[in-house]
Amino acid sequence: MKRIKALLRFPPNRAGKPITYHLVKDYDLRINILHAEVAANRVGVLVMDVEGQEEAIDGATRFVRDEGVEFHIVESAVSWDRDRCIDCGACTAVCPSGALSLDQKDWSLVFTPADCFVCESCLKACPMRAIAPAIGGTPAS
């Protein structure tokens, strides 16, 4: 069994097909949706934990791409510029996953990439512009 965090980016007009249904039914993948932003006629983003046999994940990757949807394996969720950061905590106000939090003792900002949903809300919330998108992570091979 293999477990990855995947980011799917839907071009406009591709949000109609029940992609996740096929991933579950045809490839027997266990899917946990972490974040979804899919609207008609707009680029959509779906972030999910995916667990399954390695071959099945490979097959699912090919299927998703054949549907014209970008498939990325997310390793670094967002990139955080530690030097630019002033540990204010403004980003924690919008982080839904708790991946960005403040240490209650020394009040440093703590980023836990494994918990990140890649909703990217923090990008706008950071007054120092110290958080940048990780450009969809690494394309799956």
Interface residues toward other proteins, by CB under 8 A: 86-90, 92-94, 102, 104, 106-108, 121, 124-125, 127-129
Q: What is the DSSP string of the chain?
A: -EEEEEEEEEPTT--SS-HHHHHHHHH--EEEEEEEE--TTS-EEEEEEEEE-HHHHHHHHHHHHHTT-EEEE-SS-EEE-TTT-----GGGGT-SSSSEEE-TTT--EEE-GGG-----HHHHH-TT--EEE-TTSEEP-
Nearest distance in Å: CB 37, other proteins: 13
Q: Which is nearer to other proteins, 66 or 83 (CB)?
A: 83
Q: Which is nearer to other proteins, 127 or 139 (CB)?
A: 127
Nearest distance in Å: CB 10, other proteins: 22
Q: Which is nearer to other proteins, 33 or 93 (CB)?
A: 93
Rounded distance between C-alpha atoms, residue 93 and residue 100, angstroms: 9
Q: Which is nearer to other proteins, 39 or 138 (CB)?
A: 39
Nearest distance in Å: CB 129, other proteins: 6
Nearest distance in Å: CB 132, other proteins: 13
